Structure 1
Amino acid sequence: MTWDLFFRLVALFGVIALGWVGARRRLLAGPDGLRALGNAAFLLFVPALLFRTMARVDLAALPWRLLAAFFLPVVGWLLLVWLWERRRLTHGGTMPLTPALAPQPTTRAISVTFGNGVQMGLPFSAALFGEAGLRLQVAIVSVHALILLSVLTVLAEIDIARASAQHSGRGHSLLATLATTVRQTVIHPVVLPVLLGLAWNLAGLKLPPQADETLQMLGQAVVPLCLVLIGASLAQHGLGPRWQAALGLALLKLFALPALVLVAAHWGAGLDGLPLAVVVIAAAMPTGSNALLFAQRYHVLEVEATAIIVLSTLCFAAAVPFWLWVLGWFGSP
C-alpha cells in the first residue's frame, strides 16, 4: 500500500470518527437526528447522484464485456445470498416471512455484495494500475449503484409485498403482489431517478449547466454524509454483540466474492491481464456505505451493516496484497 492510499484510508476513518464524536456529544440530536440524516441521504442526495450519473454516462462507450464479466457473478452472488437468507428465515420454506423480517434477506445481501467502488476503488485502481486501470474502474463505478441497488430494491419490495399480503390474510395473489411490487419499486428514491436519468440520456438531452452543477453539489454530499452516519451508528450501537458473525460476513465479501469474479471473468469471459485485475480488485473492495443506508431505509440489520462496513474496511489492507499475489499467477499487473 502506498503512502497516498494510506492517508486516504486515514482520512476515511477520520470522517467516520467525526460522526462518532458528534453522536457521543449529542450534536446530532440522537436517534431521531440520525434517522433524519439517513432520510436526507437516501431521499435527496443519493437520487441526485444516481440521476446525474445515469443522465451523463456514455452508454455506447462502456466496455460491455468487462461489465458483464463483473456484474453477472456479482448479481449471481447477490441472488445466492438473498435466497439462502430467505430459506433460513422461513425454515426451508415451511414458514412465511413476517413483514418485519421481509427486508432482511436483501439487507444482508447488500452488506456482502456492495463494494466501496468510489472512495476506495478509484484511488486504488489509479495507484495500482495507472490511468488505463482507472478508466476501467470508472466504467464499473458508473453503473455499479444503478445495477445493484435496483436489483436489491426489486427483491426487497417483492418480499415486503408478499409478506404483507400473507400477514393481512389476503393470500398472495400473484397479480396483486406484482402490482404492489411494481408501484413500490418504481416510485422509489433509488429506482425512479435511475429510470428518469436513463430516459433523459436516451432522449439525447443535455443537462443545463445550472442543473448539472446543482445535482453535482448534492451528489458530492453522499460520501461524507454516509461516513458520518457510519460513525454515528457505531457510537449508538457499537459493533454489536454478534461482531464475530459480522467479521465472517466481511471476510466473505473480501475473499469469496472476488474468487467467484475471478473464476467467471477468467474462465467464463476470457479476461486476462489488466481487465482481469481490475474486476477482481473491484470485487474485493470493502463494503460501501450504501449498505447502511439500505438497512436504515428498511429498519433492519443496521448494527450488522455498520459492523461489516467497518470490519471489511479494516481487513481490506490484508485482502489487497493477497489478491495481487493471486493475480500474479494469471499474468496480471
Structure 2
Amino acid sequence: MFAQLSAITFIVAPVFGLIGLGFLASVSGHLRERAAEGLSEYVFGLAVPVLIFKTLAGARLPEEGQPWGYWIAYFTGAFIVFALGMLAARRLFHRDYTETVIHGFTSAQANTVFVGVPLILQAYGPEGAVPLFLLIAVHLPIMMVVATVLTEGVHGGLSAAGLKKLLRLLAFNPILIGIYAGGIAKLTGFELSGIFKQIADMLSASAVPCALVSLGLALHRYPIRGDFAPAVLITALKLIVHPAIVYVLTRLLPMPPVWADVAVVFAAMPSGINAYLLAQRYRVGVAASAGAVSLSTAVSLFTVTIWLMILGVG
C-alpha cells in the first residue's frame, strides 16, 4: 500500500503543486489578475486545443467501436448528482428554481480542461487520452445545453436568441474545435510534419503546466465566502457521490478497463469554472458556486488520491 501511495503521490503532487504555486503567486501579488486572464485565454484558446488535436490525430481507437457503457456510466452519474444538487437546494436551502439549477449544474460540471486533462494524462498517459478527449467532446455541450434549457425554462422556454447564442458558443469553442479537427485528421490520415509538428509539440508541452498555474491564479478570484453549507454539499456530491455512482456502473457495464478508470477519475474532478460563469450570467447562486469551485479544487487533492488508490493506479 505504501508503494502504491508513493506512486500516486508522484502523479498527484506535481499537478496540485502547480495549482498551489499559481494560487500563491496571485495571493502574494507576484502575478496580477491580468496575468491570470491572459494565461487562461492562452491555455483555453490555443495550447490545450493543439494538445487535443495532436493527441487525437495520432490516437489508436478501439477496434470494437465505441463502448457505449462508458457514456451511460458517466452521464447517469452526472445527471443523478445534477438532480440531487437541485433537490438539496430546494428542500434543504429553500432556493428558487433558477438557483436550484445552478446548484445542480455546479454539482455535475467537472473541471475537465484545467484539472482533468493534466491529471488523467499524468495517471494514464497516451492510453487514457482517447477516452478523456472523447468524453470532453460531448461533456461540455450536453451539460451546457441541459443547464441552459433548465434555467431558461423558468422564463417560458429557451428563446430563439438564447438558443442561437448557445449554439454559437459551442460552435466556436476552441476545445471542441481541437477535438473535431483531431477527429477529422485521424479519419483522413493527416499527419503534421516538419516545422508544423515542432510548433505543435512546443504548444502541447506548454498546455499542462500553464493550465495548472492558470487555475491556481484563478482560484484567488473565487473565495469561499458566504453560502458555505451549499458549497460543502455541492463539493460532496461532486467529489464523492458522482465518482461513486460511475465506479459502480463501470463495473457493471462493458468497456475497456482504462476507459472505465478514466470515467471514474473524470467524475472525481472538482467543480468547473463554467458553473460559476453561469451563476454570474443569471446573478443567482454566485457565492455557492464560487465557493464550491474553490473548495472542491482544494479537497480534490485528497479525494482524487483516494480514488486513484481504489482504482489501483501505481
Counterpart code for 1:182 = L
The answer to whether residue 37 in structure 2 is matched with residue 21 in structure 1 is: no
Q: What is the DSSP-based 3-state SS (H/G/I as helix, E as strand, rest coil) of the residue aligned with 1:27? A: coil
Q: Is the 8 A contact 2:77 2:242 kept in 1?
A: yes
Distance 2:195 2:149 in 1: 38
CA spacing shift, 1:140–1:213, aligned 2, 3 Å: same
Q: CA deviation at 1:312?
A: 1.5
Q: Is the 8 A contact 1:286 1:312 kept in 2?
A: no
Distance 1:73 1:230 in 2: 28
Q: What is the DSSP-based 3-state SS (H/G/I as helix, E as strand, rest coil) of the residue aligned with 1:224? A: helix
| Matched ranges for 1:191-206 at <5 A | 191-206=176-191
The answer to whether residue 72 in structure 2 is matched with residue 72 in structure 1 is: yes
Deviations 1:80-106 (A, max 9, x none): 344555677799xx97748xx977654
Distance 1:195 1:213 in 2: 21
Distance 1:207 1:184 in 2: 28
Q: Is the 8 A contact 2:53 2:181 kept in 1?
A: yes
Q: CA deviation at 1:248?
A: 4.2
Q: Is the 8 A contact 1:19 1:228 kept in 2?
A: yes
Deviations 1:128-147 (A, max 9, x none): xxxxxx67534423423223
CA spacing shift, 1:11–1:244, aligned 2, 3 Å: farther
Q: What is the DSSP-based 3-state SS (H/G/I as helix, E as strand, rest coil) of the residue aligned with 1:111? A: coil
Distance 1:226 1:317 in 2: 20
The answer to whether residue 237 in structure 2 is matched with residue 252 in structure 1 is: yes
CA spacing shift, 1:83–1:174, aligned 2, 3 Å: farther
Counterpart code for 1:110 = Q
Distance 1:89 1:4 in 2: 39
| Matched ranges for 1:1-333 at <5 A | 1-30=4-33, 32-59=34-61, 61=63, 64-65=66-67, 68-83=68-83, 85=85, 97=98, 105-111=104-110, 116-125=115-124, 137-156=128-147, 158=149, 162=152, 166=155, 172=157, 177-241=162-226, 245-269=230-254, 275-276=256-257, 279-280=260-261, 282-284=263-265, 287-288=268-269, 291-292=272-273, 294-295=274-275, 298=278, 299=280, 301-322=289-310
Counterpart code for 2:43 = A
Q: Is the 8 A contact 1:230 1:306 kept in 2?
A: no
Q: CA deviation at 1:231?
A: 2.6
CA spacing shift, 1:227–1:122, aligned 2, 3 Å: closer
Deviations 1:175-217 (A, max 9, x none): 5554443333212223333333333333332234433332333
Q: What is the DSSP-based 3-state SS (H/G/I as helix, E as strand, rest coil) of the residue aligned with 1:190? A: helix
CA spacing shift, 1:154–1:212, aligned 2, 3 Å: farther
**Which residue of 1 is the match for residue 283 of structure 2?**
none
Distance 1:296 1:42 in 2: 17
Distance 1:215 1:3 in 2: 33
Number of aligned residues: 300
Distance 1:37 1:53 in 2: 22
Deviations 1:265-292 (A, max 9, x none): 33333x6xxx558624750467547923
CA spacing shift, 1:227–1:312, aligned 2, 3 Å: same
Which ranges of structure 2 fall in alignment gaps of 5 or more residues?
A: 281-285
Q: What is the DSSP-based 3-state SS (H/G/I as helix, E as strand, rest coil) of the residue aligned with 2:272? A: helix
Counterpart code for 1:3 = S
Answer with 1 or 2: which has the greater Rg: 1
Deviations 1:290-333 (A, max 9, x none): 923x3566556344212212202223334444565xxxxxxxx9
Q: What is the DSSP-based 3-state SS (H/G/I as helix, E as strand, rest coil) of the residue aligned with 2:30? A: coil
Paired-residue identity, %:
19
Q: CA deviation at 1:24?
A: 2.1
Q: Is the 8 A contact 2:219 2:294 kept in 1?
A: yes
Counterpart code for 2:109 = I
Counterpart code for 1:109 = A
Q: CA deviation at 1:19?
A: 1.0
Q: Is the 8 A contact 2:85 2:237 kept in 1?
A: no
Which ranges of structure 1 fall in alignment gaps of 5 or more residues?
A: 126-133, 325-332
Structure with larger RCO (C-alpha < 8 A, sep 6+): 2
Deviations 1:29-82 (A, max 9, x none): 23x4423332332222233233333433344547633xx333321122223344
Counterpart code for 2:205 = Q
- Farther-moved stretch of structure 1 (233-242 vs 143-152): 233-242
Counterpart code for 1:19 = G
